[in-house]
Chains A and B, each alone.
Chain A
């Protein structure tokens, strides 16, 4: 099997207009395309597809994937999102290699603000 890349990652929504506001206005992601039942956002090196599953007769399920998005400063980004009403789960986690903090979008899809600060085992920097 040859896997060339990840074409997109997706989350499901029950309210496309609400999801549009969250991902474009709260997180500040650029909209790549907009359809009747889905929205595509630029999430750095990959597309984030936000999709209404009822448009194809499927049930909504929130994703536990926890897409980890890289931000320059986890604490600053969290403070900015909290000021916009986003609620976080617990405190910022500081591991030996990274900082991260957990939250959900309005549909309950898990997301993570993440920043690695330590070099990798082979000496490469993040």
Chain B
């Protein structure tokens, strides 16, 4: 059996790298990996997973946006996050509540549908949601 150790990065395909840098770096406030200086591959670091914002056209495949919720970002408060997205001029979906977690979808400038997410209920075995 192969040994999968962890996720090194998740590609986020975009068609406008400058618009993407504004969204991921300024609106979402993710820190950029300053050790890379590629113009078509910009890495943003969440505490556990690297998001590689990149242009498929310069990497020999065709741009297609991500399906909904490919990436679920944990935020402290989904409603507050939604307000901040709207204040930034972005169109956020309606906030939903599954009974265990809340979420709101937002579409990045390239059309990738990102989920902002927060679980609040304990798991079935009584374990509380993991701290940040």
Q: What distance in Å separates the Cβ of B3 from its nearest Cβ neighbour in chain A?
A: 6
Question: In the complex, which residues of chain A have a beta carbon less than 8 angstroms from the beta carbon of B46?
Answer: 3-6
Taking CB atoms and an 8 Å cut-off, the chain A residues in 38-68 that contact chain B are 43-46, 49, 51, 53, 58, 61-68
Q: Are A68 and B10 in contact (CB under 8 A)?
A: yes
State whether A2 and B6 are in contact (beta carbons under 8 Å apart), knowing that A12-B67, A64-B13 are contacts in the complex.
Answer: no
Say which residue of A3, A4, A53, A70 sits within 8 Å of B7 (CB atoms).
A70
**A27–B2 Cα gap in the complex (Å)?**
6
Count A-side interface residues using an 8 Å CB cutoff: 46
Contact B5 A70, beta carbon cutoff 8 Å:
yes
The reply to whether A5 and B8 contact each other, CB–CB distance below 8 Å, is: no
Would you call B72 and A63 a contact (CB within 8 A)?
no
CB–CB B2/A4 < 8 A: no
B49 touching A2, Cβ below 8 Å: no
Given A45-B48, A61-B67, A64-B13; A1-B7 close (CB under 8 Å): no
Best-surrounded residue of B4, B12, B51, B117 (most CB of chain A within 10 A): B4
Chain A 52-88 interface mask (CB, 8 Å, partner B; 1/0): 0100001001111111111110001100110000000
Total of A-B residue pairs, C-beta within 8 Å: 147
B93 contacts partner chain A, Cβ-Cβ < 8 Å: no
CA distance A10 to B49 in the complex (A): 13
> In the complex, which residues 38-62 of chain B have their Cβ closer than 8 Å to any Cβ of chain A?
46-49, 51-52, 56, 61
Is A91 on the interface with B (CB-CB < 8 A)? Answer: no
User: B79 interface residue, CB < 8 Å from A?
Assistant: no
Seen from chain A, the residues whose Cβ lies within 8 Å of a Cβ on chain B are: 1-12, 27-29, 43-46, 49, 51, 53, 58, 61-72, 76-77, 80-81, 110, 113-114, 116, 120-122
Can you report 27 A-B residue pairs in the complex whose CB atoms are below 8 A from each other? A2-B75, A3-B75, A4-B74, A5-B46, A5-B49, A6-B73, A8-B72, A9-B71, A10-B70, A28-B1, A44-B6, A45-B7, A45-B49, A49-B69, A51-B69, A62-B67, A63-B67, A64-B11, A65-B12, A66-B11, A67-B7, A68-B8, A68-B9, A69-B6, A69-B7, A77-B2, A113-B2
Across chains A and B, which 10 residue pairs bring their CB atoms closest together, nearest first? A44-B6, A121-B35, A28-B1, A4-B132, A61-B67, A6-B49, A77-B2, A66-B11, A70-B5, A68-B8
